[in-house]
Chain A
């Protein structure tokens, strides 16, 4: 069985561009196939416009129609993407629902698709709608959440591992409390991590994605904050991790291991 894994952003953007080029060649072929008749009709209507401009106009219109059919109706499938084995999925690897695909298409075409021409990160419309791309070139898939693990790494590279499936609160509510207070936390941070708060942060699993929130359920923020990629999280808000595997709880690093 083919095992599709989630592609990292710079790689998916490259492959999507390659697929787009093949799609452009396909549309060029269709334009050449039906264009002659269309140009004859259009030339009678627009006598002042040179035929080359009309050719380009027909090509651009067909390209736009093709892209919209692919993005909205066909669930992100196009000739180039099928051949390259690219599949549009949400962050948990599930097929994307029509509503989210339409929202993505609106965001995409409001910028004439230019937000997708980048090589080192995902398209802006993919990021904002939580869409990722899967391929057989990237085999690492998510395991079942019950088998995920959280590694807690303190300053002296001391590592402890917590299997998520064994946390009772996660099994019943899908939530994990992290802090130094043993009466509150499911993952108790070491007492020598003095910058970490007793009720430091919470993790929540919801519809295939992990969310992180600084502070406790009463919206009381931690003293020294929770950081992702060096940026402090706003307190009292659930922030989607979207594949991010590591965060920092006031000097204590927590790594989430959820891949095969």
Chain B
């Protein structure tokens, strides 16, 4: 399926905004420690999904994960074609960072869950699937040139993303059980 270029550009712009907000939120949460402090420090409204039903949380998370997937795909697609070695190095680094962002977003969406259902693992699984699918959609070889080096950089980004998401998920799960 081919998308018109105007929709591609609009999706790129939207995803840039969403990814920017997600990165800022995650960084703020990492530096400030608690979401309450984040709200106090950054002045950003505190959005909690604590009382929201599982399907709605899943929808909200899926939208964010889709934006992350589209963003990762767009960044890696462009930088993997760059002639500058430094920019090409950003591909696996972006994969690593996006893995962290995904698990962070899943944690935010499942915070306060009290059921037996393994929500964090389920959300992360859905998120990995969405990011993979949307990235591969952008990496299709019909879009731009696809030499061996370019495909290798893209596969590196996906591998680093999957590795960082899996490791962080396991660490989070262990931390949750302590």
Please give, as numbers and ranges, the residues of chain B lying within 8 Å of A26 by CB-CB distance.
125
Inter-subunit contact B136/A17 (CB<8 Å)? no
Inter-subunit contact A137/B116 (CB<8 Å)? no
A3 contacts partner chain B, Cβ-Cβ < 8 Å: yes
Tell me the complex Cα distance, A83–B155, Å: 14
Please give, as numbers and ranges, the residues of chain A lying within 8 Å of B98 by CB-CB distance.
none
Q: Could you name 18 residue pairs across A and B whose Cβ atoms are closer than 8 Å?
A: A2-B140, A8-B152, A11-B151, A14-B152, A14-B156, A14-B159, A15-B159, A18-B132, A19-B162, A21-B162, A21-B163, A22-B129, A25-B121, A25-B125, A28-B169, A84-B132, A137-B136, A139-B141
Interface residues in chain A, defined as those with a beta carbon under 8 Å from any beta carbon in chain B: 2-3, 5, 7-8, 10-11, 14-15, 17-19, 21-22, 24-26, 28-29, 32-33, 36, 79-80, 83-85, 135-140
Inter-subunit contact A139/B132 (CB<8 Å)? no
Chain A at the B interface: mostly helix, strand, loop or mixed? helix
Tell me the complex Cα distance, A137–B151, Å: 7
Inter-subunit contact A14/B140 (CB<8 Å)? no
B127 and chain A: residue at smallest CB distance: A25
Query: Closest Cβ of chain A: how far from B157's Cβ, in Å?
Result: 9
Inter-subunit contact A83/B129 (CB<8 Å)? yes
Tell me the complex Cα distance, A15–B163, Å: 11
Query: Closest Cβ of chain B: how far from A37's Cβ, in Å?
Result: 10
Inter-subunit contact A18/B146 (CB<8 Å)? no
Inter-subunit contact A84/B158 (CB<8 Å)? yes
Which of B117, B121, B129, B152 is A79 in contact with, Cβ under 8 Å? B129
Please give, as numbers and ranges, the residues of chain A lying within 8 Å of B155 by CB-CB distance.
11, 14-15, 18, 137
Query: Closest Cβ of chain B: how far from A173's Cβ, in Å?
Result: 34
Inter-subunit contact A136/B136 (CB<8 Å)? yes
Known A-B contacts A21-B163, A138-B141, A139-B142; A7 and B151 likewise in contact (beta carbons under 8 Å): yes
Inter-subunit contact B118/A136 (CB<8 Å)? no
Inter-subunit contact A11/B148 (CB<8 Å)? yes
Interface residues in chain B, defined as those with a beta carbon under 8 Å from any beta carbon in chain A: 116-118, 121-122, 124-125, 128-129, 132-133, 136, 139-142, 146, 148, 151-152, 154-156, 158-159, 161-163, 165-166, 169
Inter-subunit contact A32/B162 (CB<8 Å)? no
Inter-subunit contact A25/B148 (CB<8 Å)? no
Query: Closest Cβ of chain B: how far from A62's Cβ, in Å?
Result: 13
Inter-subunit contact A11/B141 (CB<8 Å)? no
Inter-subunit contact A137/B142 (CB<8 Å)? no
Query: Closest Cβ of chain A: how far from B47's Cβ, in Å?
Result: 26
Please give, as numbers and ranges, the residues of chain A lying within 8 Å of B148 by CB-CB distance.
8, 11
Known A-B contacts A11-B148, A15-B158, A137-B146; A22 and B121 likewise in contact (beta carbons under 8 Å): no
Inter-subunit contact A136/B140 (CB<8 Å)? yes
Which of A3, A11, A24, A135 is B152 in contact with, Cβ under 8 Å? A11
Which of A3, A14, A18, A84 is B141 in contact with, Cβ under 8 Å? A3
Inter-subunit contact A28/B152 (CB<8 Å)? no
A80 and chain B: residue at smallest CB distance: B132
Inter-subunit contact A138/B151 (CB<8 Å)? yes
Inter-subunit contact B136/A29 (CB<8 Å)? no
Please give, as numbers and ranges, the residues of chain B lying within 8 Å of A25 by CB-CB distance.
121, 124-125, 128, 165-166, 169
Question: Which of A10, A32, A137, A140 is the most central at the interface, judged by chain B CB atoms within 10 Å of its CB?
Answer: A137
Please give, as numbers and ranges, the residues of chain B lying within 8 Å of A21 by CB-CB distance.
159, 162-163, 165-166
